[in-house]
A and B are shown apart, each in its own frame.
Chain A
Amino acid sequence: MKKTISETKTGKKMTLFDIINNTVLLFVSFVCVYPFLYILFIACSDGRYLTLGQVSFFPKGFNIESFVYVLSNSKFNIFTGISNSFIYTILGTLIAVIFTYITAYVLSRSRFRHRYVIMALFVITWVFEAGIIPQYIVYSKLGFVDNLWVMIIPGAINTQFLLITKAFLDGLPIELEEASFIDGATDFQTLCRIYFPLSKPIIATIGLFNAVSIWNQYLMPQMFLKSNNLKTIQQLLKSVVITASDSGTVFTNITRNGITLNQYNMKAAAIFVAMAPIVCVYPFVQKYFKKGILIGSVKG
């Protein structure tokens, strides 16, 4: 019974390196989380202090009115937006991961003689972009206008993610495949039984990347999703931001329960609500990045 790494390392004392390393990295992670907290603090501050520029590190006039307003205002349709974004992200990620993975699998098989050519074809499409109008024309001819599948199908195979997945699969030992063939398995079976379980880290990676990409998209839904009940949260929250910062009129502020809601805290609340769901996904994905996946799989 092999011991896991952490067990064998238990009892080792922290060296100076460890202390410095941990401190530096913790500081770096604080610097990374700060913008997130900054938005939260602004959203929770009273608008008056924000106009005066008095909020930097902590909220002033703490309240959650801006969130209540943004979430409950029927004009903004937030819950429709959130559920739409969730649907597109979940469906889109599943389809993207499956298709990207199997394509990368084929392209990483050394006996597949066309793999370099096909990969080159993909790379060309990634480097050369024709712009939004041709994309619009082609997609609308295929029936994607005002159709939720536009968020899921066209973008399913992202060339960059394909490259990463293929690189990962190239890195798995060729003996795995050979052993599987000796046992009489077909390509499908090899893929499902051998490679797929070993690919957890890369699947988690491209799953995460695809999810983030779909969730954050603005241009695609803006061009194609016109009906209000199809809109994503990014689209709907843009209208909050625009409504809030109309600088032509004098009266853009709203007062609720004594708290001033102006363009600053409303914008921040909108940004936060648009980010929060997807941010929560990452910690769950982390457990797939555990070490030692290949222990015992290949001997010798």
Chain B
Amino acid sequence: MKNIKKFVAILLTLAMTTVLAGCGSSSKNDSSAEPTAAGTDTAAQATTAPDASADTSANSYTMFMRSQYVDWIKELKWYDAAEQNTGIHVEYVAGPEEIADTYTEVDQRIASGTLADAAMVNLAQAKVYGEQGAFVDLAPYIAKYAPNLQAYINANPSYKAYVTSDNGAIYGLVKETPIFADLIGYRADQFKEAGIDAASVKTVDDFTNALRTLKAYYGANDSNYYPLSGRDSALRFAAWFNAASYVDAQGSGGVYYNHEKDGSFNIKADGAYTWVETMKTWYDEGLINPLWVAGTNAEGDWESQTLEGQASIFYDYYNRAEWFMENGGPDNNSNYDMQVLDFLKDANGKTIPVTTSTLYQSGCVTAVNSSCDEAKIATILKFIDYFYSEEGITLANWGVEGESFQTASDGSKSFIADYTAEESKAAGEKKWSFLSDRFTVTKPVDQTGFYSWNTKLISDAANKNFVSDNFLVRPTLIYSTEQEEQLTTLVASVFEAECAGITEFINGTRELNQDNWKAFIQEMDTMGLADIEKIQAEAYSNTFSN
């Protein structure tokens, strides 16, 4: 009897939850594996376009993007203005939270034929799937419907080479990335207290001496004080010794692939030995946090060290100085003053060029589903084309004249919208925001606008230091599929080995002398460093011979 009761109870629970589940779900059973006309299936029909122009049958399209980007787009005032000005509305299909997952989901949607009209893909996906027929060859349509974009392509042959496949087709459009470098942040108040004149810190030797002064002053009382600290990898000063990885017409040195900006070093450069020697000096004298050198200093550790005064200098993301001012520095210590040090100079007073990101990157590429008809393709291209027009460039990088920016008599622009006020608005609130490193639409970047959209501290430092003379040349290379494959495999083993080896030299596990260093280079070549350099050089000549 008891068993039957239990059984009935279970059945009832089952029934109840099934009913609940049935009420709660809105299951859209997608059982087709054929590439459907994805646009018509998944598009929500709500458009806000006031007038449907006679040329395009629909003035909206769907686009699959990372959900974070979709959220940000919905907050942008300039984006609303753009949709209004063009009369085109984009219905975004939110994907996963992480970028890598977004690309994986693109693969899944392609496999099941449920991709939207347009999608955020990476360049390799665009080219490979494009050649197989999943994406539209945009080249003829750009000529027809997107004059501004066509002009841009004509004016930028490197861009054309980057997005064009071997068969001459363009399967995906790449956006411009803001070019910026890391900046040195320092505790101005601590410098003053320890008697260091920040303006006098010009060369790398000056830098080291400043560290020594700080260590002597503050390190006496606190054994956990190390003037220079950071997060994750400490191998970031190679450019100061002319030892950054590179590719040019003469050849290649170091791992450049995926390491154009961060983790860029070339152990075969003349200055490489000096670089490691200097870092070893820092390590031995306690000037650099040993946990950072070991690779065990996480972001949180670095932040708390810097906020609590256990570290005074860092070399990191360009707006970090502001971050520390806004996130607790002055709360702890009313004198807390984080400033930015200008780029270091060599013995002749010339600024040492540093590494930056490349103008074109392989992520956040816009590709158009081949199931779209010509009218839809035209709509998509028209929308993107707007951002390549003067009006669109200004709108996306500066906003609306009189509302978010103003023009001075000499033609230079400046923001009247307050960066701090706008960026600290709650999530979901409409705001002015011009963080062009985020993907919103495929568009060119006004670099000055990007630097200026910061607090005064950062925008001054950026506008002063981020000039092309101070940047190392970072060409955007085009790799063939085979080169891509080989490089990925080689880099996955060689780069880690390099980092581990250099770390051993710095922390003394392996004695640093010329013989050992040469042996280390030999080991790395055997592992594949020489092959990597060869492939990179080949890619360079392929890219720039056309």
Contact = CB atoms under 8 A, between A and B. Distances in A.
Given A136-B112, A230-B26, A250 B326 contact: yes
Interface of A: 48, 51-54, 75, 83-84, 87-88, 90-91, 94, 132-133, 136-137, 140-143, 145-149, 192-193, 196-197, 222-223, 227, 229-230, 238-239, 242-243, 246-251, 253-254, 260, 262, 264
Contact of B28 (A53, A227, A239, A249): A227
A242 B17 contact: no
Given A94-B10, A148-B27, A222-B101, A133 B328 contact: no
Nearest to B27: A147
A91 B25 contact: no
Contacts of B98: 242
A251 B101 contact: no
A51 B21 contact: no
18 contacts: A48-B328, A51-B300, A52-B307, A53-B308, A75-B428, A91-B14, A137-B111, A140-B112, A143-B29, A146-B27, A192-B3, A193-B3, A230-B27, A239-B97, A243-B71, A248-B317, A248-B438, A250-B319
B286 to A, nearest CB: 20
Nearest to A86: B17
A251 B97 contact: no
Given A52-B307, A53-B301, A250-B423, A91 B97 contact: no
B323 interface: yes
A142 B31 contact: yes
Contacts of A262: 327
Given A83-B24, A90-B17, A249 B332 contact: no
B424 interface: yes
Contacts of B473: none
Interface residues of B, number: 58
Given A83-B24, A192-B3, A249 B435 contact: yes
Contacts, number: 128
A197 B423 contact: no
A48 B304 contact: no
B331 interface: yes
A133 B24 contact: no
B108 interface: yes
Given A53-B301, A242-B68, A146 B10 contact: no
B182 interface: no
Nearest to A263: B300
A239 B17 contact: no
B258 interface: no
From B25, B33, B112, residue with most partner A Cβ within 10 Å: B25
A223 B108 CA distance: 8
Given A52-B332, A140-B111, 17 more contacts: A75-B428, A90-B13, A90-B17, A91-B18, A140-B33, A143-B30, A145-B29, A146-B29, A146-B30, A148-B25, A193-B3, A197-B3, A223-B108, A229-B24, A230-B25, A239-B67, A250-B319
A263 to B, nearest CB: 9
Q: Which 6 A-B pairs have the closest CB atoms?
A: A53-B304, A251-B424, A143-B31, A145-B30, A242-B97, A147-B27
B108 A136 contact: yes
A266 to B, nearest CB: 12
Nearest to B299: A247
Given A133-B111, A143-B29, A254 B423 contact: no
A246 to B, nearest CB: 8
